[in-house]
Each structure stands twice: as C-alpha cells, then as structure tokens.
Amino acid sequence: MVELVETTAIENVISAGSITTNIKKGEKMKKITSIITSVLAAVSLAFGFASCKKEAPVTVIGYRTGSLCAIPIHIAVLNGLFEKEFEAIGQKVETLHQSGFSGTTAELVGAGKVHGGFELIASNLQAMENGLPIVFATGVHTGCTRYFVRQDSGINGPEDLRGKKIGVLNLTDSSVINLKRKLGEYGIKVSLADSEVEFTAYEMSALGLALKNGQVDAIALHEPMASKVANEFGFKQILDTGTDEKFKDEYCCQIFVTEDFLEKNPEGVKAFIRAIQKASAYVQAVPEEAARIQLENNFTSGTVDDNVKILKTLNYTSSYEKGKQTFVNAVHELKELGVLKPTTDAEAFIKRGYVDLKGIPEGYTYNPATQEFTEIK
C-alpha cells in the first residue's frame, strides 16, 4: 500500500508538472497564433488595398490618314508625343487609326471608341447643337479651304454666288458652313429655311469634273486636293480661307475631346492638348521633315516638295485662345444667320462647347537646333 501511495503521489506530481508545462505551452501557442493571425490580416489588408487601387486610365485618341492638314496628329503619333505627355502624368494612351475618311466623329464618339481626335470645327457645330457630346480644346492651324469657279463664269468673288449652285463634299462640311458666314456679309440669305444658294454634295474626286462640265457654278475643296484640282483644271480661285481677311486668323482645324473624358480626366485632356500643340510647333518649324515623316509612313499622298509648299501657306503655330475665339465667332454668326436654331442659347453653347481648364498652354514653339519646345506665354 505504501508503494502504491508513493507511486500515486509521484504520478500526481508528474501530472501536475505536465499540466503546468501544458499551460505554458498553451500560452506560447496562443501568442504564436495571435502573431500569425495579425500577419495574415495585414497581408490580406495589403492585398485588399492593392485590389481596390484604381488602374491608370487609358485614353484613346482617334486619327485618320489621307489628310495633309491633319499632319500634327500624325506627327504626335509617329514621334511618340502622345506617349511622352501621358507618361509624364502617370497615364496610358492608345491611338485608333481609321483609314481614309471613313467613319464620322459622331459614329466614333457614339460607339465610345475614342476620347478625342482632330476635326474641322465648322463641320461639327450643327451636330453639337443636336447633342453630339464633344468639346473643342485648342486651335491647330489656320486656312486650308479654297473655292473655285470656271475662268469664263463671270463670277469674281463670293458676292456673285447669289442664285448659284455650289459643289461640296457634304452638306455639313466646314466649307459649307464657312461660305455661309462669308455670304452673310453680302446680305445673301443662307438660313435653313430660306437660302439663295444651293449646295450639292459630290465625291471628292468628282468635284473638278462637275465644275468643268457645268453641273455646278463653284466648288469647295480642302488641301491638298484643292491645289491638285486647281492645277489640273486651271480654275479661278474666288476665296481662300488662309488669306481672306475674315478667316486668315481663324483656326479651322482643332482637336476635340468627349464631354465624359473632360469631366473624368481633365489632366488627360491637358496632356492631349500639350502633345498636339508640340506636334503643331514641330510642323511649323520643320515642315520639310514633318512632310517626309508623314509620306514615309503612308499617312498622306503627294510629294515632299508639293506638300511642303501647301504646309507653308498654313499657320501651324497652335493657339488655345485663337482657337476658342474662332468657335465664339462661328457660333454667334451662324445663330444670327439662321444656320443654328433660333432656340439655341449661343452663350450656353459656347460655354459647353469649348474646354475651359486652368493650366492649358497657349501653344509652343520648337527649336530644331536644340530639339526643345518652349511654351508660348
């Protein structure tokens, strides 16, 4: 019995020691478990933040080939100016190429395919009035539209076009809109309800023959086709928006952005503007080099010499302020002439239709020797 008691006592002591040891081990395990839980929670939280972090927005810029005067957007694509400006603000940019002149701005914007692009401003005013959600952003260049008649027509200027038929690319083309503005100076009616001139649409390649054959009394064309047709047929020029007193300082071609892009990504809008302004400055400073790059990449037709000759007749020193003033002038005049709707609020249209952000450059110049751009103050 004594041995049994002693054995039991020893077992109790051992058992008690085991409990104590187990308790200590349990406390350690709790601490380890707590540490592991904390680490896992921290890792989970980190991954959670990473997954919630917004990716840099991707801007899509649309452009067409085939147009000589659109050379700044081509240079911005080919010389990597879009990438440089968007990378500088930590964003990504892509370009969408549409060959030729297929697809309208309205179709591209409506399908949500682009955030911005290059357009003739006057060609889009009526579409904007009817709800096209784009906003113009800076003037790219002046000039580029010319009007011709036959040498024996007896027509010597726009003032002689009352009662005449004019061949154009389409009825909403900028050549139509700007000619209406010019005709209004001579009291010629051009409203939608009452017009003293008739506009007829033709394929670009058919306009020269239409005038030669007497199907129309005058035609309107943009460069470089304007120069080609004039040289081929020997027509008489009656108006050139690049030299006419009314239009010579107006920026016919400009860049646009969508309303949604402007609202959600104003820094991206400014990056787009800077890239185009720098590309324009490049064209203005080195038109020979710009024309060579454009032709080598099949972005337009012609020869370097012929294209440079045309480019030098246009002003490619981009201007935000003059671009905006062009928009203001066009809206007010077209409202007065009855081309825009009587119910359209001109001031509200202007406010909605042109970008107004702090920090937009007026434009840039380019120094070929240093290959540096300088902001115009």
Classified as helix, coil or strand, 278 is helix
**Cα–Cα distances in Å, from 33 out to 20, 21, 25, 39, 126?**
20, 18, 12, 10, 70
What band does 38 get if pLDDT is binned at 50, 70 and 90? low
H helix runs in 237-319, sequence order: 259-264, 266-285, 287-296, 304-311
Name the packing angle between helices 287-296 and 304-311 (round to 10°): 130
Summary mean pLDDT of the chain: 87
pLDDT per position as a tens digit, 251-267: 999 999 999 999 999 99
Q: Has residue 207 got a pLDDT over 80?
A: yes
| Interacting residues of 86 by C-beta distance below 8 A, sequence separation 6+ | 59, 92, 93, 268, 271, 275
Structural domain boundaries of the chain? Answer: 58-142+249-375, 145-240
**Percentage of the chain modeled with pLDDT above 90:** 76
pLDDT per position as a tens digit, 322-345: 999 999 999 999 999 999 999 999
Q: Has residue 12 got a pLDDT over 90?
A: no
The C-alpha atoms of residue 363 and residue 115 are separated, in whole angstroms, by 21
- 364 φ/ψ angles, rounded to the nearest 5 degrees: -140, 160
The C-alpha atoms of residue 138 and residue 141 are separated, in whole angstroms, by 10
Residue with tokens 């306009």: 207
pLDDT at 85: 98
Q: Has residue 270 got a pLDDT over 70?
A: yes
Give the architecture-level CATH label for domain 58-142+249-375. Answer: 3-Layer(aba) Sandwich (3.40)
Q: Which of 2-11, 95-104, 213-222 has the highest mean pLDDT?
A: 213-222
**Cα–Cα distances in Å, from 68 out to 171, 247, 334?**
22, 19, 28
Choose which CATH entry (3.30.2130.10, 3.30.300.30, 3.40.50.2300, 3.40.190.10) describes domain 145-240: 3.40.190.10
Q: Which run of H or E residues covers position 116?
A: strand 116-120
pLDDT at 101: 41
pLDDT at 145: 95
Nearest partner of 272 among 114, 163, 48, judged by Cα: 114
Same topology for domains 58-142+249-375 and 145-240, yes or no?
A: yes
